[in-house]
Amino acid sequence: MLKERETMKSKVIVGTALTLLLIGMFSMAFDIQPVKASSPSPDINRDGIVDIFDVVTAASAFGSYPGHPRWNPIADIKQDGIIDIFDLVIIGINFGMHTFFDVVGTSTTSTAIMDSFQRKTFFACNRFWVFYADGTNIVYKTSTDGAEWGDSVVVRACTTGYHFSLWFDETYVHYAYGPQSPNTPIYYCRGTPFSNGSITWSAEQTAVEAQENCGYYTPYVCVDSEGCPWIAYRLLHSPHSYAYVTKSSANDSTWTTASGFPHQVSTTDYSIASVTPLTSHKIIAVYSTSGSPIKARLWNGSSWGEEENCTTSNCYQHIGQSVVNEGDDVHLVFHTTTPYAGQYAIKYVKRTYGVGWGTEVTVQTNVTQTSCPVLSTSGMTIYCFWVGSPTVNHVYYKKCVAGVWDSNPTDWMTRTYYAPNYDITCYYKSYGNHIGLVYLMRDTSPYLVDHNYLNITNE
């Protein structure tokens, strides 16, 4: 039996080699050029490489045309309405080529879209917008179909993704940037996106003044119900670092620090925070430290409330939490350890306005050590995304409708190349019936920034 298998394998190899040789000769005779890794593509099955499986797929539909029982439109690479030798030639001359589908862009840093709790993507003006650090600058790209992306546009200098955060208020896009270097400020800027993929930016503002021997980490920006920007950040003044929040009293793209700000919200070292807008000027600041329960404080429109205990379980990684609002109610998912050593889970808890934080609910058990969840919302439905479990390198999500989570996760897609599971970020909420997810591929440079989206009308 083993000998028969080896003989068959040899025949396949020889047959493939002869086929490719003939295809190569044919391509030279007809001057057929390689194609780009876009749709339609010679990587018919979209597994990241043009190989024998693509040859087999095209061959099985050879000679077919629309209406034919064997017609397979994705094998019509030449797009001339028939699957023939020209389609096989295109596969042949691209044989062995690695393909990057729907890839937004590349980066030289593995932290291009970190941290997962920050926001860096949205949908507006009938375009998908993705921001990331390319290793030198914050850049963005746009797409009208989620597949073909335009040229990168430089926003400002920035070497790593967790130095900036983004917020889209359905009119303006806002960013906060903190370079994490001692004696440097946090900057804020507002821009207006347009249907041609451009953004008109206002003048960059200093949101938090530089302090001697202090560094500002992981900024998170949002805008309250009056259009005033807020920024949460971690202030490091060795040996301590605490979560702070600041806000502007202006809503005209300038920054005027409001009275009583910046304000220290945490008393626990190494806390990071996010700020989420509610209604009528209210804001909830949620902050966490690795290995401790998650805390929060409510700004009621004029003053801060007492510290609240959001969770009873510890947050395994301080970046492993994600927050959205539904009116004045707050939804929180986080990454935690289980009572069993070496096991991890994603849990959810809701804050009902006027009542407080409810009981924790397990969204998914047995996730990986790095499966940080990200949360988005569409009306009354909540979406929780994560990577790496139950199956390595697969992207999953669950929906929560009327307080009830799906029993089983939706196995949404497979990343072609491995990257750490915490390298994801998503829309804060659905825009135009779209919820997009941005994730990283590859664990070596160049790192690939990728994007996919759910059409909520099909859910």
67-96 pLDDT, tens digit per residue, is: 999 998 888 888 899 999 888 888 888 887
Which residues, listed in sequence order, are joined to residue 299 by a DSSP beta bridge? 283, 304
Structural tokens at position 425: 């970020």
| Cβ–Cβ under 8 Å, residues 245 and 261 | yes
The pLDDT value given to residue 98: 64
- Distance between first and last Cα of the chain: 48
DSSP label at residue 180: -
Per-chain mean pLDDT for the chain: 88
393 vs 443: CA distance, rounded Å = 12
Contacts of 455 (CB under 8 A, 6+ apart): 433, 434
Instruction: Count Cα neighbours of 247 within 13 Å in the Cβ-side half-sphere.
Output: 29
Structural tokens at position 189: 């800027």
At 6, which amino acid appears? E
Q: How far is CA 117 from CA 113, 133, 296, 423, 430, in A?
A: 10, 16, 15, 10, 17
Q: Nearest Cα to 160, choosing from 194, 134, 127, 121? A: 134
| Cβ–Cβ under 8 Å, residues 220 and 288 | no
Residue burial 409-429, b: 16+ Cβ < 10 Å; e: rest = beeebebbbebbbbbbbbbbb
How many CB atoms within 10 Å of residue 43? 24
137-156 pLDDT, tens digit per residue, is: 999 999 998 888 999 999 99
289 vs 181: CA distance, rounded Å = 21
DSSP annotation string for 382-426: EEEEEESSSSTTEEEEEEEETTEE-SS-EEEEE-SS---TT-EEE
The pLDDT value given to residue 101: 57
Contacts of 182 (CB under 8 A, 6+ apart): 212, 213, 214, 215
Which residues, listed in sequence order, are joined to residue 345 by a DSSP beta bridge? 336
Contacts of 161 (CB under 8 A, 6+ apart): 109, 111, 112, 113, 114, 115, 118, 120, 132, 133
Q: Nearest Cα to 303, choosing from 285, 288, 326? A: 285
The pLDDT value given to residue 221: 98
Q: How far is CA 365 from CA 293, 362, 395, 425, in A?
A: 18, 7, 15, 21
Low-confidence ranges of the chain (pLDDT < 70): 1-40, 45-48, 98-102, 339-341, 416-417, 458-459
Q: Nearest Cα to 351, choosing from 343, 342, 359, 340? A: 359
102 vs 108: CA distance, rounded Å = 18
Q: How far is CA 349 from CA 277, 321, 322, 360, 393, in A?
A: 18, 11, 11, 5, 26
The CA-CA-CA angle for residues 313, 318, 321, to 5°, reads 70
CATH class, 103-458 region? mainly beta
Instruction: Count Cα neighbours of 29 within 13 Å in the Cβ-side half-sphere.
Output: 9
66 vs 224: CA distance, rounded Å = 53
How deeply is 57 buried, as exposed, middle or buried, from its count of CB atoms within 10 A (0-12, 13-18, 19+)? Answer: middle
Structural tokens at position 215: 């560094």
DSSP label at residue 34: P
The pLDDT value given to residue 269: 86
Q: What residue ranges do the domains of the chain occupy?
A: 2-93, 103-458
